[in-house]
Structure 1
Amino acid sequence: MLVALTQTALAPVAIVGDAIPLPLDGRTGDAARGRSIATDTRKGLCPLCHTGLGGAGPAGDLGPDLSEVGARLSEGQLRLRLVDGRVLNPATLMPSYYRTGGIRVAGAWRDRPVLEAGEIEDVIAYLVTLKGASRTP
């Protein structure tokens, strides 16, 4: 008996320095969709560790405040951190949102990334808008 295992095909990534300069799926993300993902404690999970996202719920303090992340990091730098921040810091607590094969994931997440390529791009589109006092909530 043959059993086919289904795995989400991940777009190939090219790391250049401290960034992945090109969008994962070849398109620019949508900031409104990205905000929805980034502020959702069930989808993007960002508020569990980060403040400064503009969401309505409580936020954690394990990770840095993201209210000015768009002024500090480029799209490519954000992309690498979301795809697999362990490339930059093997001891990071930041989850790898675009990777499969993790050994410490629930069964529902095995062989698929936490966020799809388009969702990663949407989150990046939102994060680059976060530039501190100049942004609107």
Structure 2
Amino acid sequence: MKPGVWGSTAVALLVANMAYAAEVAPNDVKVEDGTVAQSLTGNPGDPEMGAKALANRGLGNCLACHAVSALESEQFHGDVAPPLDGVADRWQPEQLRAIVVTAKKEFGPESVMPGFYSLEVGINVRKDLVGKPILTAQQVEDVVAYLSTLKEGD
């Protein structure tokens, strides 16, 4: 093996461990005054990946309840929850993060919207998700980044 390979591998492992160490566990998320002020990962979200998670029926499945004009090519937008168009004009990213993380605390226990990064996701949840968060911390950041792009008139 070349002399520089070990050093490169060690640096890569250190960076990966630092990123993992920065991730906030679901039970450690601090919601204060309807906000989660800090990133759950220490990394910025990727709006493109957030749109994919939001539309993915196996992940966010947000379109089951919400309509999003920017994702009109996706099928079966719901109408049981408010449209997400203009959501970035209504809430700050810190508020959106709190809503995505723990909607039951933000909207009340009767809300149909689950907590996506909570161990208490609600009732009638897929069996494989009971006691687990629906999204990863990075997926939450990605969804928040995408939602933050949805301004009125866009």
Aligned residue in 1 for 2:50: 34
Q: Specify every segment of 5 or more residues in structure 1 that has no aligned partner in the other structure, as ranges.
A: 1-8
% identical equivalent positions = 29
Is 1:69 equivalent to 2:90 in the alignment?
Answer: no
Whether the 8 Å CA contact 1:38–1:46 is kept in 2: the answer is yes
Larger Rg: 1 or 2? 2
Which residue identity is paired with 1:10? P
**CA RMSD, 1 decimal:** 1.7
Aligned residue in 2 for 1:21: 37
Under a length normalisation based on structure 1, what TM-score does the superposition of the two structures give? 0.83
Task: Choose the corresponding residue for 1:114, options 124, 127, 134.
Answer: 134
- Against the structure 1 CA distance between its residues 103 and 92, is the aligned structure 2 distance closer, same or farther, given a 3 Å change threshold? closer
- After TM superposition, the structure 1 = structure 2 runs for residues 1-137 of structure 1, keeping only pairs within 5 Å, are 9-10=25-26, 12-52=28-68, 54-55=70-71, 56=73, 57-90=75-108, 91-102=110-121, 104=123, 105-133=125-153, 135=154
Distance in 1 of aligned mates of 2:107 and 2:50: 24
Compute the displacement of 1:53 (Å): 5.0
Whether the 8 Å CA contact 1:70–1:129 is kept in 2: the answer is yes
Under a length normalisation based on structure 2, what TM-score does the superposition of the two structures give? 0.74
Distance in 1 of aligned mates of 2:65 and 2:45: 23
Compute the displacement of 1:13 (Å): 1.3
Distance in 2 of aligned mates of 1:22 and 1:86: 20
Which residue identity is paired with 1:78? L
Whether the 8 Å CA contact 1:39–1:54 is kept in 2: the answer is no
- Against the structure 1 CA distance between its residues 121 and 108, is the aligned structure 2 distance closer, same or farther, given a 3 Å change threshold? same
State which drifts further: 76-85 or 122-131.
Answer: 76-85
Whether the 8 Å CA contact 1:11–1:117 is kept in 2: the answer is no
C-alpha deviations, 1:1-43, integer Å up to 9, x for none? xxxxxxxx53621122111111111221000100111122332
Whether the 8 Å CA contact 2:119–2:132 is kept in 1: the answer is yes
Distance in 2 of aligned mates of 1:61 and 1:74: 23
Give the aligned length: 126
Q: Secondary structure at the match of 2:102?
A: helix
Distance in 1 of aligned mates of 2:114 and 2:139: 15
